[in-house]
Chains A and B, each alone.
Chain A
Amino acid sequence: MSTQPFSESGAASTALPDATSQVSRRGFLRGAVSAAFCLGFYMPLRRARAAAQAETFAPNAFIRVDPRGEVTLIMSQVEMGQGIYTSISMILAEELDADWSRVRVEAAPPDEKLYANPVLTIQCTGNSDSIRAFWKPLRLAGAAARACFVQAAARTWRIAPTECRTENGTVIHPPTGRKIAYGDLVGRAAAIDPPKDPPLKSPEAFRLIGRPLKRLDTPAKSNGSAKYGIDTMPPGVKFATLAASPVLGGKVVRVDDQKAKAVPGVRQVVVLDDLVAVVGDHMWAAQCGLEALDITWDDGPNAEVSSDLIWSRLREASLREGAVAKQVGDAAAALSGGDVIGAVYEMPLLAHCCMEPLNCTVHITPTSAEAWIGTQVLERVHAAVAKAAGLPESQVTVHNHLLGGGFGRRLEPDMAYSAARIAKQVDGPVKVVWTREEDVRHDVYRPAYRDLLWARLEGGRIVGWKHRISGSAVMARFLPPVFKKGVDPDGVDSAQDIPYDIPNYRVEFNREEPPGIVTGFWRGVGPNNNVFAIESFMDELARKAGQDPIAFRRAHLDKTPRLQAALELVREKSGWGSPLPARCGRGVSAQIAFASFIATVVECEVSEAGEVKLRRQTTAVDTGIAVNPDTVMAQLQGGHIFGLTAALYGEITLEKGRVQQSNFDNYRMLRIDQTPPIDVHVIKSGEPPGGIGETGTTAVVPALRNAIYAATGVPLRRMPIDRKLLSGRANL
C-alpha cells in the first residue's frame, strides 16, 4: 500500500518512511560547534578537559547538551498547533534518555542541508510528514548522542560500555552503583565520534513515546507571552498594510496619495507594480492611510474570470481521458457489461483563513536583510527575501516564529516576497500585516476538483472501478520534478492506492489549472478530494447493493485488516444501527491517508428547511505508534472541525476576476455552538507512526455527506452542502 505521495527520487514509494539513507546523503552533519571537539583528540588530556568544560556537546544538528545538563533540541519542523515541538522532542529525548524536565526547544534556522524533510526533500513542514519522515532519523540522532555519553562514562570508569545503562540524563554502572550526569560528560562525549548505526530501543522500553505528555508550547500560549510572527517588534519598527491588485496579474496605473499622507501617523506610501502599501506608526494609521488612497488598477488579462468560467473549463476538461496513474486488472473489460453505475462529484475552491493573518516583518539595509515570520517553508522564505532584497542568501537572516495556523497557506513564500519588496523601499524595519480581507482575497486556494467515477457490481461486490480526477496539479508548481507523465502524485493520493480490494481498476488524472487564481495545498491536500469522492461513491454503491454501508466496506477490506478493525471499532462506539429520530442519519467513511487508518461516523439531523445540525461524531484511528496519543486525538478533533466547516460553508467564488469573499461575515467558520461531541478512539499499534494532522479533515466530509444521505436520501454530489437540495425531503 503506497502511502507516501512522493519520495526523493520522485517515484511513488511503496515503503513506509525510512529516511535514514536520505538524511545521511543530505549531510546529517555534526553541529557547527563540533569542530572544536575534534581538537580534543590532539590536545593533552588536561587541556582538552579544560577546553571541553566550556563546550557544548552537539553530536548532530538536532541535539545540544550543555555542562549543566540542559538539553536543547533543535526543531526541524515548525509548530503551527499540531504539537510537533513536543512530539519531536519526545522522540529525541526517548532515545537520548534525557531528563524530560530539562529539555528545551529551539527553532531550526533555514538550512536545507541540515533540516530538509527527508521525504519532502526541502525544509518544509507539511503533508502530515513530520513524524513519518523524521521518526527514524531522530531516533538515530538521539541514540547516537546517548552512545557517546555511555562511551565517555565507560572510558572514565575504565569498563565496557555494555555494562552501563542510562536513565533521565544519567549514565549508570549498575554493578558498582556509580552514576554520572550527562552534563558532567559533555566534554568527554564531544571527543567521541557518534556511531552511525547505534542500537535503538525496542518499543517496550519506551518511557516517553506513547504517553500523553504535556505540550511544551502551550503554557506560553495561555498567557499572551508566546510570540508569533505578527508579534515581532524589532526596535524602530514601522507598520504597513497593503492592497494588492484585486485581480491576479493586474497592475497599478496610478495612485493619488494626497489624502493618505494627511492621515496622522502615516509615514510613507510604497507603490510597486502590483501592490500599494502604506507605512505608518501603527497598523491603524496604515489602514486609514490605505483607505484614503485613490488607486487606479489595470485589471489585466484576468479581468473577466468568473466562477462560471472556471467551472465550465473544469467540467469540459473532465470529459477528456486522463493520464493513467494506476491500472490493475482490466477495468475496461470489467466495466463493459451493462449496469455500470456512474457518479460525478465536485469540490470547490477554498481559502485557508489561518487565524493569524498573513504577515512578515523585514529590515533591509544595503548589505543585509533580516526577516521575522512564521512559515512552513523556511528556506523558501529565505530565498524569497534574498531575491527581493537583491542580496546573496548569506547576507539574509530569517527568524522563524510560532505559526498562528498554517493549513498549507504558509507553504508559500509569497507574503515574505511582497513584504521584502515593500521593505526595500523603507528605511528601517517594517512589519507588513495583511488585513483579513486581503488575506482571503489573495490566498493560494485549495483547488476545485471534479471527479468522475464508474463501477460495476456483481453479487454485491465491486468487480470494476474507474476514477478520473480533474483539477489543479499543485505538485507541478510546488515541486516540479515529481510531476511526471501528466500525473500529479498529490492529485491521485489515496485514489491510486484505494484501500478496497477491487480486481479491476483504473485511476486517471487530468490536469486543468483554473484561470485567474493560484491554487495550493490546503489541510488534507489531495486526499481531501479523493476520499470524499470515493467514500461518497461507496455509500451509493452500498445502497445499490442493498447492503449496510459499514458491512459493504468491510467486505472489500479483507486484505486491509487495520482499516477493518477501525471500521469495527467505530461501528461499536458510534451506536451504529440503533434507531434515530426522523430526518436524522449516520454516515461513515473509511480511509487510508497519510499512512493512518481511520474510520469515522457522523450523526446529523437535517431540518425541513435544509439546515444540518451535527449531533455526534465518533472516530477510530490506527496511526501506528502514537507518539503522543493526546495530540493524536486533538488533531483528529480539530481536523474534523476544519472539514465540517468546509462541508457546511466553504466556497470561494470569483466575479470580474475578483474573489467575492473577504472576511468571516461572508466566509463562515464553524463555531462552538454548532460543534458536536467528538469522540476519538486510538487503536494501540506497534507499526511505524503514520501522519495525523490532515487526516481528520479528509475523513469527515464524506462521513457527513453520507449521514445526510441516510437522513434524507439525497445523494449530494457537490460541496459545500446545498441546503436547497435538502429542504422539505422526507426520509427515504
Chain B
Amino acid sequence: MITLTINGENREVGVAPDMPLLWVLRDVLGLTGTKFGCGIAQCGACTVHLAGKPVRSCQLSVNAIGARAITTVETIGSTPNGLKVQKAWLDLEVIQCGYCQSGQIMSATALLDAIPHPDDADIDAAMAGNICRCGTYVRIRQAIKRAAAQE
C-alpha cells in the first residue's frame, strides 16, 4: 500500500509503484476533475500541484511522491489564489468545452503563487505547457491579469 496526501486527506492505494498519479486520481480514487489529454506531458490537462508546484500527473509515478502534498482542481478553490483564478475565469467567461481548464486553472494558480503580478512573458512561460483546443488563450491571459489585480 502507498499512502498519498491528496487534498488534505491521507489516501491509501494498492497500486503498482510506477503507476502515474493521473490514473490513481481518476480510476482508483474517482477524482475525475484531473484530465487525461496526451499521456506524454505535452498538453497539461493533467496538471496538479505537488507541494505547491505544478506537475503533469501523467508523468508522475506514485512512488516518487513520498509525503509531499497533492492538490487537485477539486479543492484548489479553497486556496486564496485558486479562488481568485476560478472567479476571474468565470467573470471573463474563459471556459468553452472546459476539458483542458482544470489544468489551465492549476497552472495559473501556481503562477500566481510564484509571481503575484505576472507580466506577459511570465504568463507565456507558465502557461505554454497547457494546450487549449477551443482556443481560449486570449481570455486566459486577461483572466490571469484580472485575478492578479484582485486583493
Contact = CB atoms under 8 A, between A and B. Distances in A.
State whether these chains interact: yes
Interface of A: 80-83, 212, 214-215, 217-219, 221-228, 230-231, 233, 239, 264-265, 281-284, 287, 353-357, 402-407, 433, 435-436, 630-631, 634, 637-642, 645, 663-665, 669-673, 675, 677-678
Contacts of A83: 96
B43 interface: yes
A211 to B, nearest CB: 13
Given A355-B131, A433-B36, A222 B20 contact: no
Nearest to A440: B38
Nearest to B124: A673
A212 B91 CA distance: 11
B139 interface: yes
B99 A637 contact: no
Contacts of B34: 224
B145 to A, nearest CB: 13
Contacts of A224: 31-34, 72-74, 102
B42 interface: yes
A642 B96 contact: no
A672 B130 contact: yes
- Interface centre among A228, A638, A669, by most B CB within 10 Å? A638
B27 A239 contact: yes
Q: Which 8 A-B pairs have the closest CB atoms?
A: A224-B33, A641-B135, A81-B97, A404-B99, A221-B98, A81-B96, A282-B27, A638-B135
A585 B146 CA distance: 32
B93 A215 contact: yes
Interface in B15-61: 15-16, 19-20, 23-24, 26-28, 30-40, 42-43, 45
Given A239-B27, A672-B130, A436 B37 contact: yes
Nearest to A86: B93
Given A217-B98, A355-B100, A664 B133 contact: no
B95 interface: yes
Contacts of B131: 355, 664, 669, 671
A356 B34 CA distance: 12
Contacts of B15: 265, 282, 284
Contacts, number: 185
B135 A230 contact: no
Nearest to B19: A284
A221 B93 contact: no
Nearest to B140: A672
Contacts of B128: 671-673
B42 A678 contact: no
A281 B123 CA distance: 39
A221 B96 CA distance: 9
Given A355-B100, A405-B134, A218 B40 contact: no
Contacts of A223: 33, 73-74, 76-77, 86
Nearest to B99: A404
A292 to B, nearest CB: 13
25 contacts: A81-B97, A81-B98, A212-B93, A214-B90, A214-B93, A217-B95, A224-B31, A224-B74, A228-B99, A230-B36, A231-B32, A283-B27, A284-B19, A284-B23, A354-B97, A354-B99, A355-B134, A402-B98, A404-B97, A406-B97, A436-B39, A634-B136, A634-B139, A638-B134, A672-B137
Given A225-B74, A433-B36, 14 more contacts: A80-B97, A222-B90, A223-B33, A282-B19, A284-B16, A355-B43, A355-B100, A356-B97, A435-B39, A634-B136, A641-B135, A664-B43, A664-B131, A673-B124
Contacts of B89: 218, 222
Contacts of B139: 634, 637
A639 B98 CA distance: 15
- Interface centre among B33, B34, B105, by most A CB within 10 Å? B33
Nearest to A213: B93
Nearest to A643: B135
B97 A402 contact: yes
A638 B135 CA distance: 4
B132 interface: yes
Contacts of A433: 36
B124 to A, nearest CB: 4
A402 B35 CA distance: 14
B110 interface: no
A665 B99 CA distance: 19
Contact of A638 (B43, B73, B77, B136): B136
A222 B86 contact: yes
Contacts of A406: 97
Nearest to A357: B36
A177 B90 CA distance: 38
B117 interface: no
Interface string B99-135: 1111001000000000000000001110111111111
Contacts of A281: 27
Contacts of A239: 27
A218 B133 contact: no
Interface of B: 15-16, 19-20, 23-24, 26-28, 30-40, 42-43, 45, 72-74, 76-77, 86, 89-90, 93, 95-102, 105, 123-125, 127-141
A405 B99 contact: yes
- Interface centre among B40, B74, B136, B138, by most A CB within 10 Å? B138
Contacts of B35: 230, 355-356, 404
Contacts of B32: 224, 227, 230-231, 233
Contacts of A637: 135-136, 138-139
A574 B132 CA distance: 26
B147 to A, nearest CB: 12
Contacts of B137: 641, 670-672, 675
A433 B27 CA distance: 12
B22 to A, nearest CB: 8
A33 B43 CA distance: 46
A514 B110 CA distance: 46
Contact of B42 (A226, A402, A665): A665
Contact of A634 (B26, B76, B93): B93
Given A282-B28, A637-B139, A672-B127, A265 B97 contact: no
A407 B102 CA distance: 20
Given A224-B74, A282-B28, A436-B38, A638 B124 contact: no
A405 B133 contact: yes
B38 to A, nearest CB: 5
A404 B40 contact: no
Contact of A663 (B38, B86, B132): B38
A300 B77 CA distance: 53
A355 B133 contact: yes
- Interface centre among B15, B96, B141, by most A CB within 10 Å? B96
Contacts of B134: 81, 355, 405, 638, 642
A312 to B, nearest CB: 32
A80 B19 CA distance: 31
B52 to A, nearest CB: 18
Contacts of A221: 95, 98, 101
Contacts of A284: 15-16, 19-20, 23, 27
Nearest to A218: B95
A353 B141 CA distance: 23
B84 to A, nearest CB: 12
Given A222-B86, A223-B77, A639 B99 contact: no
